[in-house]
Amino acid sequence: MTIPAAYERIAFVASAGAEAQQALAQLVQLYGHHDPDDADVVVALGGDGLMLQTLHQNMRSDKPIYGMHRGTIGFLMNEFSPHGLHARLEAARESVIHPLLMRATDVRGVVHLHHAINEVSLFRQTYQVARLRILIDERERMAELMADGILVATPAGSTAYNLSAQGPIIPINAPLLAMTPICAFRPRRWRGALLPNTAYVVIEVLEGDKRPVAAVADHDEARDVRRVEVLSDKTISMRMLFDPGHSLEERILSEQFGY
């Protein structure tokens, strides 16, 4: 939907790169700068890494986030221009995304709670393949997966690591999660599954002492895990703004046709 409110008070954040810092100085001079707590909108200048960082930092603020590409990868960003920013913000369209909540229990019984906007991933920590047991909604669906790892991705993250692991691209508004193996050895032909976004996913590590496994929620890592629980956290809604014709929905659809 089109955003009716005028975003007058803008908070700018930028990555450390020279291109992003130059854009930051230019935009602050043109539009001023407000503290994020007092701003109507946060404008992020950089690449997708900065966008994920900004979304994490503002996860519970209900602040809309508008990104402009001044970094390396810009799938989540709009094109950069210093001109007409207020008009672009007023015309922008909103995509609402919900993060995943990861609850990982390690070998010492310590529980690690982290949110992921893109995906929760499990990886083998050594040269030996991981052995994993998969339960969905407390029902065993796979007694043993032997693989380098496995991931659970949101629609927003389906075009990131999930796609590189040959997982499916999911339209942003689809009520689905992608579960994708990473270099599966057995079952050899298992390519993963599409799950409802209401699913309660549990992944248990088998032979964890011999075959240690790490769990990662975006960039937050827990090592030597024994049990990882994943679910979509509907209590958090993050608002991303995109220029008309360049929405996240359109970008994900375009990715499916290879352009």
Domains and CATH numbers, the chain: 10-98+236-256 (3.40.50.10330), 100-232 (2.60.200.30)
pLDDT reported for residue 46: 95
Torsional class of 254: left (φ above 0), alpha (ψ -120 to 50), beta (otherwise): alpha
Mean pLDDT over each residue of the chain, to the nearest integer: 92
Task: Grade residue 1 by pLDDT with cuts at 50, 70 and 90.
Answer: very low
pLDDT reported for residue 252: 72
pLDDT in tens, 7-56: 889 999 999 999 999 999 999 999 999 999 999 999 999 998 899 999 99
Best CA proximity match to 201, nearest among 215, 212, 182, 183: 215
48 carries an active-site annotation: yes
pLDDT in tens, 162-214: 999 999 988 877 899 999 999 999 998 899 999 999 999 999 999 999 999 99
Confidence check: pLDDT of 222 > 90: yes
Active-site position among 37, 38, 40, 48: 48
Extract the runs of DSSP E, i.e. beta strands, from 57-212: 65-69, 93-97, 100-106, 111-116, 119-124, 130-136, 139-153, 176-186, 193-196, 201-206
- Which H or E element spans position 229? strand 225-232
Q: 């009716």: which residue's tokens?
A: 4
pLDDT in tens, 113-165: 999 999 999 999 999 999 999 999 999 999 999 999 999 999 989 988 999 99
The angle formed by the CA atoms of residues 95, 59 and 45, to the nearest 5 degrees, is 70
| Residues belonging to the chain | 259
pLDDT reported for residue 259: 53
**What are 56's two structure tokens?**
């994490």
Burial class of residue 165 (count of CB atoms within 10 Å of its CB; 0-12, 13-18, 19+): buried
